[in-house]
Amino acid sequence: MAVATLGEAMNLSWRITMRCAWGTRDAMKSVRECTYRRELDMATLVATRGRDFPLAGLESRLRCPRCGSRRITVMFDVPKQPMQ
């Protein structure tokens, strides 16, 4: 079974973590790497985006609150045993 939406992920007790991917290089100049990382609240995501929001579109809708970068990596923590 493929999980494609926030609602399905929430029902299966997935956890979602975002990490700022702002690197140490921007073209030819060095920039300070942002190390911001935070677990996202599934209930808030579902309330603001809707149960049918696609997981594939989540990364493009986030911004780092520390540095303002849109370079975000989203990581999904899938439980071994789905909670029923």
Q: Answer for the pair 4, 55: CB distance below 8 angstroms, yes or no.
A: yes
Pick the closest to residue 9 from 65, 38, 52 (CA basis). Answer: 52
Tens digits of per-residue pLDDT, 20-72? 988 665 566 666 788 899 999 999 999 999 999 999 999 999 999 998 999 99
Distance CA 36, CA 71 (A): 11
pLDDT reported for residue 28: 65
Q: Which helix (H) or strand (E) element contains residue 19? A: strand 15-20
Contacts of 12 by beta carbon, 8 Å cutoff, 6+ apart: 3, 78, 79, 82, 83
pLDDT reported for residue 2: 87
Q: Given pLDDT bands bounded at 50, 70 and 90, which one contains residue 17?
A: very high
